[in-house]
Structure 1
Amino acid sequence: MKNNTQGFTLIELLIVIAIIGILAAVLIPNLLGARTKANDVAAASVARQVLNAMAATEVGNTTGTTPTCAYASNNVAVTAGTESANVNAPAPITGVTCSNVAAAAGAAGAPGTPAQYSVVVTYSGGTAATKTLTANK
């Protein structure tokens, strides 16, 4: 009996493997760049949300204290006097710090209100280790 089945030749298999290798070499770096960009965008988003929370807590605050924030287990607690707000900060975020630059003191020595808020978000897997945003009041 004669066997009429034919398979692929060695040359055909090598050409297919070479094409797959070239495609992988082109696509894998692009996919890794997308993940890095996503981490950068996530850090910027958390920083903007914390800035908004700082401004919102100051608006409702009647005690005159400036907004502060504390990062713990993927959550940022923003407080100003009796007002508070929470901001979700999931991975890749590893830390958030806030600061206020106060304006000159008010009448009769009252503390000045913040003239500027600053948020520094620490994260992993991006193009930088930190993302800093500043907002003027």
Structure 2
Amino acid sequence: MKKTTQAFTLIELLIVISIVGILATVLISNLLAARNRAISTATQAYVLDVVTGVETQRDTVTGALPIIAPSCTAASGNPGLPASVKTGTCQVIFGTTNKDFFVVNATTRNGTDYTYDGTAMKFGTSTAP
């Protein structure tokens, strides 16, 4: 009696490997896109947190902004920048005339600039590599 063994042929193995490769490519590109969206959303939330921090320091009687421009971390009340914000890019800028307005700028790790100018969140083009 002859024993037969069942095995995959080389063609079957190549087909399975190519299908796994295609699936990995699709999944990785989707994961990278989701990661970039998460970084952008976290940076926008941080900018709005800084705006809230500056507004809480506004004089309730006169409506004047603070004399000294707080840093982003001081205004938000957080000890440090979130991982989504590129180090050294978040800043609070007050108007030059009687400091009646302010702008908050921050850049994400992937290079998109976000600015809150007192009316709306605006984003610029990518400036990172």
* TM band (smaller chain): 0.7 to 0.9
| Number of residue equivalences | 114
Shift of 1:113: 5.4
Which residue does 1:82 correspond to in 2?
Answer: none
- If asked which structure has higher relative contact order (CA below 8 Å, sep 6+), I would say 1
Cα deviation, residue 14, structure 1: 1.1
Q: Is the 8 A contact 1:118 1:135 kept in 2?
A: yes
> Is the Cα–Cα contact under 8 Å of residues 119 and 134 in structure 1 kept in the other structure?
yes
TM-score when normalising by structure 1 = 0.69
Does the residue aligned with 1:51 lie in a helix, a strand or coil?
helix
CA-to-aligned-CA distance 1:33-90 (integer Å, 9 cap, x gap): 111111111111110000011011114588x54462225xxxx013xxxxxx613531
Q: Answer yes or no: is 1:101 the counterpart of 2:101.
A: no
Aligned partners of 1:119 and 1:132 also within 8 Å: yes
* TM-score of the pair, normalised by structure 2: 0.73
Partner of 2:84: 92
What is the distance in 2 between the residues matched to 1:32 and 1:47? 23
Higher strand share goes to which structure?
1
Q: Is the 8 A contact 1:119 1:133 kept in 2?
A: yes
Residue 83 of structure 2 aligns to a residue whose secondary structure is coil
Instruction: Give the corresponding residue for 1:125.
Output: 110
- Go from structure 1 to structure 2 and tell me whether the alpha carbon gap of 1:61 and 1:123 turns closer, same or farther (over 3 Å shift): farther
Alignment check: 8 A CA contact 1:66 1:100 kept: no
Q: Distance in 1 between matches of 2:71 and 2:116?
A: 16
Structure ID, larger Rg = 1
Report the alpha carbon displacement of residue 25 of structure 1 after superposing the two structures with TM: 2.0
Contact 2:47 2:116 in 1 (8 A): yes
RMSD between superposed Cα atoms in Å: 2.5
Distance change (3 Å), C-alpha of 1:37 and 1:101: same
CA distance in 1, matches of 2:61, 2:44: 26
Percent identity, aligned pairs only, is: 35
Stretches of structure 2 lacking an aligned partner (at least 5 in a row): 120-129
